[in-house]
Amino acid sequence: MTHRIRLRGAWQTSLSNSATVESPVGWEQFTPSQFCGEISFRRVFHAPSGLAESTRVELVIPPIRAAYQLVLNDDIILSFHGIEEGRIEIAKRIQRTNHLLLRVKVLEGERAEGRSLEDLHICLEIGDIGDY
């Protein structure tokens, strides 16, 4: 059986211009309409309890209309540009305390509109290897 743990709240957000805000906040609330640059979202989370060798843990990120990079415990685990869901197996990378960084690069002519971290629903999807 597969279940999800949503990584809500306690995100720290910063812009390439050094401004810092606490989430939840819509990107449009702290980025100028013509903003181009990098937005970083950071969060710490603890390893789920009860993980076994046969447990699969995936980090799932919904579509973002911008280039982005996911960094887990200082390792780049996913780089993507597009509007498809991002999904990566992390069971072997997970530690007792984990540091997750989402870097979103807004290029000229692009806009990551209408999103907040609460809208993103970044989550861990956990289940036995046979469930996938």
The one-character DSSP state at 97 is: E
**Band (58; pLDDT cuts 50, 70, 90):** very high
**Band (11; pLDDT cuts 50, 70, 90):** confident
- Residue 1: the pLDDT is 78
The number of residues making up the chain comes to 132
Report the SS3 class of residue 35: coil
pTM, rounded to two decimals: 0.79
Residue 64: Cβ within 10 Å count: 20
Is the per-residue pLDDT at 3 higher than 70? yes
CA distance 44 to 56: 20
Q: Which one is predicted more confidently, 110 or 46?
A: 46
The predicted-structure confidence for 68-114, as pLDDT tens digits, reads as follows 899 999 999 988 776 678 889 999 999 999 999 988 887 766 655 54
